[in-house]
Structure formats: structure tokens, C-alpha cells
Chain A
Amino acid sequence: MLLKGLRDIASRQKWVAIAMATIVLGGILSVVSPVFLTLSNFQAILVQASVTSIMAIGMTFIILTAGIDISVGAILFVTSALFAQLMISTESYLLAFGVTIICATSLGALNGILVIRFAVSPLITTLATYSIYRGAAIHLTGAQNIPVPREMGFLGNGRILGVPVPILILIAVTILGIYVLNRTRLGVYARAIGNSERSAKETNLPVGRVTVAIYAFSGFVTGIAGLVLLARVGGLQSGIGIGIEFTVIAAVILGGTKLTGGSGTVIGSVIGAIFLVLIDNGLNLMNASPYIYDIVRGSVLLAAVAIDRYSAVRQRAALDAQRASLIAS
């Protein structure tokens, strides 16, 4: 009974499924390791998940419109590089923050503009900009490692009232994301466009403007994530952001957002990112070889997609049966 009830809720509210999986995985880990159930470990997990979670919130909107952005890792790197460089040349935090965030937002917006202008698949468009953005940033910095001032570490390792700053930033961005998705036209339009672009056009929705705004929003939050990451690492390294798009997209899909667009939640993506960190955490506890990590992450994503596909097929079958009985009666 309980199982069935939970399954019903999970099929309606997709994020509940990943939340339950996270709780189960957490339960297993707490049995395996005595330190798991401590406040400091929880905080460590959330801090570790903060960068990908923040980025996943932006990616949720893009995938909701049935799009994708492969270039987020590159935007992350550009942000970090630009900030580090600006700090050296101007030593003004205000200027560096402002320019960096505006630049990240603009790069996201550029992705959106290219997607609607050329009407090429977002996958290819952002694969191209991925290469361009990262290349430009490496060219700009000469592939050097650039340290950032010590005070910057506050953003990555500091605490306010005992709570690590990255967690507070994550909470703020999560609230912002939930608000935008549920209470603004942008959020509703994003879901509508992802559900049916034809209907959106027939209903006269501003498809182009919404698409650009969504990619820009993703760029904006990626900029924030870049600053958090830079602060945690302590300086620019040329490896920043490589491969992170996989984790970000995986978190969104695990969180129950449909790749075909139209339905998904911000909270699901955040929990999805946390789930992926838990898996790393568990593998770490098991002293697994570092090469195993990628295999497990990939398998988890594949399993999530398969389960989602299976439940979608069953749901449609149930719906068809219901309609058929309506027509027969």
C-alpha cells in the first residue's frame, strides 16, 4: 500500500522519485559509515554539490524548452578566468563581479540567439560555442594558473551563522529558480514552448525572446557558480569546468525533467545533483578506484532514463485505456 502510494506520488511529481532514491542511498551510506550521519558531513556534501546544483537550476529551464546547453562548462571557465584576470588588473571586486556576471549572462544569451537564429539543434550550436568560449578564455589567460586574493575564499569556504556560504548561495539561487519557474511569465512560457512549439506559435507566445532569456538565465547562474568554484579552488586552473556539463545535465535528468521538454522542477535538479555527490561519496567510502566513478555515474544516468521511459510508456497506456473505456461507454 505504502509503496503503491509513494509510486503514485512519484509518477505525478517526478522529483519525489529522486528524493526517495537519495534518502535510500543516504540510509545505506549511514549504515556503511559512522561519520555519514554527522552535520559536518551533510554540510560537506552540500558544499560539494553547490556548483553543479546552481548550474543545474539554469539547465533545468533550458531542458524545459526542449533545448540543451553543452557550453556551460566553458562559460564556467570563462567566468573564472575573467574574474581572476580582472582582479589582477583592477583590484576592484565590484567591477570584477559586475563584469563577470554580465559576461556570463551575455554568453548564455548568445547561445540562445544562435539557437533561434540558425534554427540548428541546440546540441550542435552549443557544442560549437563550447569550443569557442573555452578557446577564447585560454587564449586570454595564456593557460596560466592565476591565484585570487585570499578574501575571495570567503565565498567558497566562509560561513555565516555557522552555515557555509556556498550553501546559502545555493539556497538563494534555488528560491530564485523556483520563483521564476512558477510565478513569472518566463517560467510558464518556457514550459509551454517545450511542450509544443507549434501551439506556442499559434498562441502568439514570444518564442524567440523566451528562448534567449532562458539561455541568458542559465549563463547568469553559471556565472555565480563560477565565482563560488573559483573561491573554493583558490585560483584559476586550466582544468576548471571540463566535463562538468555531464554532471549538470545528468542532475537535471535524474531530477525528473523531461529531455523532450515541457515538464520538470528546479528542486528535482538540485536533489539530482546532491544524489550524484552522494554516489561519489559512497564510492569514496568504498575506496573504489577513481576510474570506476565515471562508469557508475554513466550507468546511473542510463538507468534513470530507462526507468523514466518505462513509466512514461505505462502512463500513456493507462491513459489510452481510460480514453478507450470512455469512448466505449
Chain B
Amino acid sequence: MTDTPRPVVSVRDLSKAFASKTVVSNLSFDIFPGEALALVGENGAGKSTTKNMLCGLLTPTSGEILVEDNPVTKVIGAEHGISAVHQELSLFGSLTVSENISISNLPGHAARIDWPAAEKTARNQIEFLGIEIDPRALVETLGAGKQQIVEIAKALLHANKVLILDEPTTSLTAIEREKLFAIIDKLKAGGLAIVFISHFMEEIYRVCDSFVVLRDGQQVGQGRLADVNQRALEEMMVGRTMADARVDLAAPTQVPALDVRGLSSADFTGIDLTVNAGEILGIAGLMGAGRTEVAEAIFGLRPATGEVRIKGEFAPRNVKAMMARGLCYVTEDRRTNGLFLNRPVRENLSAASILKFVQRKLRGFGFQGEKAKAQDIVADMNIAIPHIENNVSDLSGGNQQKVMLGRWLATLPDILIFDEPTKGVDIGAKFDIHAAIADLARAGKAIIIVSSDLPELLHITHRMAVMRKGRIVGEFMRDDYDSVKIISLAASAKESTSNAA
């Protein structure tokens, strides 16, 4: 490291905007052969966009990427020797290992594939990576770890300069993860540059040499990992907001509204939760930690074992019974699971409470009652629409989310579970939604918020539970909130290692 090595890829003032919204701006960093660069940042910081520009899936809006000092407008993976292994693998389950590895570069003529050559290539690639996999096995019969190796073998066929790994360990066991790290070391020793994207700080320190920190699309730090400790790195990621003004929350009561004991399923284990009336409980964690699954299981949308009590009384976990007991769940995926996009706002608002508007003796729906209620909610929630008969698809994300919330408020719930309540909404709507949630708590409702947006949870919760790999691994009271501690707890690999062993 005494003489300055030449970077294999350099990024200069790189920016990307979608429509008019800038997602990343002015990134400048170098990637060196034989080294691993960590790309770190919170959810939504711009890591994926950066990755996609580096591997050629996206074209930068401005700035340049230099491959061995030659500026390129758009990366062409095969030509420039850059390849990415995405978090969601791009494999074909019903094809064999060797077909998968060589699919984009099949040997022989188009009308006469040389299968023995393809199989030999696959065998060589797999052997080089030091893992035993039958090239003739169907990929869908392999475990997650081996599938990851196949994907890497496939990527390496034309990645002779840079290999980008995006969250490569999320579905791996502890042993598989160690094997992967050994492979990365080997590739580095062979002169390949690695770009490593991970939430797990331990992994970053294990694998990488240098780092770039992104926050809200800005590059807020870079350097060598040897020069910073984990806490400093995490503070760079989280930045701001640690002491942001929080909303004033009223003190919660001590009356338990919802009590969950020993809830378990394939996705989570032994979940215990209690929320008091007037209390807002946050559930923090990384994507894939099982938070949504827990919320859906409580509401009865997923099978699970364990007990749920509402106001001290046992409640069967099915949606009808839960709604009857005043519980509601506002989904994270409002477009596919929540709203009827091509139906009017009025119908969307009344959908969960429609029985209230049905009159007896077959006189049909009381449309007047339904309309009046819808108009009330629209005014209450400050939903910006010209008319309640407009389709929900015409609304902005924030207003759509308000419709979701309004629908459930029409059922007069006592307990509300919100999953990512402000995902994809603008700042103004976010403020309105937060205010509405705080008001609900003040009115004595019990509230659970599942969110990947940590500042949001710091902002509007009384208490926070942290989930990791299907378990609750810690709990914080509002006065002890420490975003760095919470993040490192959510992302720590330590306990999961002992679980897997």
C-alpha cells in the first residue's frame, strides 16, 4: 500500500434523479483492485441506486464513471468486467447449475450448444470457488447458500474487474456465511475488486478495507475501515435526527390493551408484546427481521401459535374476531393489499365498516350514511381530493395512506397496528399522519408502529422493541432512545450465529 495503486473504477460527481427527484447526488469514490469497498447507509439512503449505476442497470443523470481511467456513459457489465449479485438472485430454478452459470454465454453455435463445454466451465467455476455442487442439479433443489455460490459463479464469468455483492448473507446460515467470506478473500487475493453492501457491521469489518457512507442520497463519509470504529461509522449513517425535536406525547395509561404471548411461526419465535391504552409501541428492525409477519399474525392474516389477549380477554386470531374486538391493521403495501385503486374514495373509506351502513329489511345500502361518513373522514384527515367519488388511484401516496387510515378509523378501533405508515409519502403528509397517530394515542388508543424509518420511530413512540431474525432482541424506553445502539442491536450478527449453531 505504499505506492498508490490505480483504481479500477472511479466515480466522479455521480448523480441520479428519477423524474425531478434526486435520489443520489455527487458521489465521488474509487474502487481498487484486490480490495473490498463497503457501501453503507440506512434503508433508502441510495445504496441500491448507486449499485445499479455501477453495474449498468441504471444510467447516471450526471457525473461520470471511469473504468480504468476511461470515462463511460453507461456501464455495460459484460464489456467492462463489472457484475452484480443482487439481493434477490437472478437464477432460474428449473434449470441446472451449469445452464444457469453459462446462460448468457452459451458455448458453441446458437443452433448447436456445446453442453459438455458448458458443464466443464461450470465445474471449473464451482471448483475454483471451493464448493461441492453437482453441475447437473436443478438450482431449485439447492439450499440458499449454494444458490448464492451459483449466482457468484455466474457473475464471475464476466466480472473480471469488479464484483458487487448486495446483502449477500441475509438468507445464509452461519457456516455458509463463513464459506462466502473465505471466497471473497480468495477473489480479493486474485486481484478482483469487491463492492460489498450490507447492514451488518461485523461483516463489513470482516470483509472490507474501505468504506463509503451514504445518507439521504449524499455521500457523508469515506475512508479506510482501519481508521474508524464501528460506533463512528454508525453515527455517520444515522447522522442528524438523534436529538430532533420529538412530538409531545401524552403519558400512556397502565391499562394493557393488547397482550401477545409466545407467538411463533416459521418466520418468528416466542414473540411477547404488551401495549397499554394510550401507548405507542414501535417495532424496529431490518428488512426480513419478521416484523410485518408478526403484525399480520396478530391480526389473523397468518397462521401462528401463541396467545393474543385484548383488554385481558382471550381473542381468537382471525380477522373477523379481531375487528369485532376493536383491533385493526393498516398494511405496509397499500397499493396491492390495502386499497381498491379503481374504486371511489367513498367506497374505500367505508370498506371496513360497511355493515354499519346496511339497513335491515332489504332496503339496500344507506348510501346517504356512507357518503356523510366519508365526507367527515375526508375533512378530518385533511385528504386532498376534489370529490369523494374520485378513484383512489388519482390520489398522491400521502393521500392514499390517509384513506387507508381513515377506513380503519371508521371502524372505531381501540388498537391500531401500523405497518410502515409513512412509506412513500411526502413530508407534509408524513406530518399529518404522525399528528393523527399522536392524537389517537392521546384519545386512549393503543398503537403499534412497524417501521424501517428509525427517525420516525424515535419521533413518535413511547417505547420501542427491536427485532432481529424473528426474535425480539431488545426493548428501549423513550428516555433511553439511542439510535446507534438500536441500529447495532438490529444488525448485530452475534446472536444469530449462536442461534444457528
Contact = CB atoms under 8 A, between A and B. Distances in A.
Interface in A304-324: 319, 322-323
A188 B106 CA distance: 10
A205 B111 contact: no
Interface string B174-202: 00000000000000000000000000000
Given A184-B110, A184-B112, A323-B143, A202 B93 contact: no
Nearest to A202: B90
B414 to A, nearest CB: 38
Contacts of A204: 78, 104
Which of B89, B94, B110, B112 has its CB near the most chain A CB atoms (within 10 A)?
B94
Given A203-B104, A323-B144, A192 B92 contact: yes
A322 B104 CA distance: 30
B103 interface: yes
Interface string A222-236: 000000000000000
B143 A326 contact: yes
Contact of A198 (B90, B106, B110, B112): B90
A263 B94 contact: yes
Given A188-B106, A205-B104, A327 B500 contact: yes
Contact of A202 (B86, B115, B143, B173): B86
B270 to A, nearest CB: 16
B103 A203 contact: yes
Interface residues of A, number: 26
Contacts of B78: 204
Which of B92, B104, B106 has its CB near the most chain A CB atoms (within 10 A)?
B92
A203 B102 CA distance: 10
Interface in A160-202: 183-186, 188-189, 191-192, 194-196, 198-200, 202
B230 to A, nearest CB: 27
A268 interface: no
B95 A319 contact: no
B90 A199 contact: yes
Contacts of B94: 191, 194-195, 258, 262-263
Contact of A191 (B86, B95, B112, B115): B95
Interface string B81-103: 00000100111111100010001
B113 interface: yes
Contacts of B99: 188, 192
A11 to B, nearest CB: 12
Nearest to B84: A202
B103 A192 contact: yes
Nearest to B146: A326
Interface in A233-260: 258
A188 B113 contact: yes
Nearest to A199: B90
Contact of B93 (A183, A186, A195, A200): A195
A188 B114 CA distance: 12
Contact of B95 (A192, A258, A327): A192
Contacts of A185: 106, 110-111, 113
A71 to B, nearest CB: 27
B141 interface: yes
B113 A203 contact: no
Contact of A188 (B86, B90, B95): B95
A61 to B, nearest CB: 15
Contacts of A263: 94
Contacts of A183: 111-113, 115
Given A183-B113, A184-B110, A184-B112, A319 B92 contact: no
21 contacts: A183-B113, A183-B115, A184-B111, A184-B112, A185-B110, A185-B111, A191-B95, A192-B103, A195-B92, A195-B95, A196-B93, A198-B90, A199-B90, A199-B92, A202-B86, A204-B104, A205-B103, A319-B140, A323-B143, A326-B173, A327-B500
Closest 5 CB pairs of A and B: A202-B90, A262-B94, A199-B90, A263-B94, A195-B92
